[in-house]
Amino acid sequence: MMRGGMGNMQKMMKQMQKMQKEMQKAQEELAEKTVEGSAGGGMVTVIANGHKEILEVNINEEVVDPEDIEMLQDLVLAATNDALKKVDDLTNETMGKFTKGMNLPGLF
């Protein structure tokens, strides 16, 4: 009976190693994906990658009125937060297939 237990343990370890490699590959693929957040009806857009790095900020020239700098700052902040929320959604969608049915607090 002990032998069967060891065989099952080895099989489970191989499965865990395979899943770990697949998860690492999926995380690398996330870095290559981008999401776009926007605010002000598209007046400000922010592009981020899957590792929550902001790659680009675009501000429509109609917005750049020196008197409205506070509004512009708020729009950039809102667009950035929108992009980062979409990265979280993308990460959960991509990595969720590995953790489906498992309780792994703090993994991401």
Q: pLDDT for 91-103, tens place per residue? A: 888 888 776 766 6
Tell me the per-residue pLDDT of 27-38, one tens digit each, with 9 for 90 and over. 888 888 899 999
Q: Which of 4, 82, 70 is nearest to 36 (CA)?
A: 82
Q: Is the pTM of this model over 0.85?
A: no
The sign of the CA dihedral 36, 40, 41, 43 is negative
What domains can be seen in the chain, in order of their start residue? 2-99 (3.30.1310.10)
Judged by DSSP in three states, 48 sits in strand
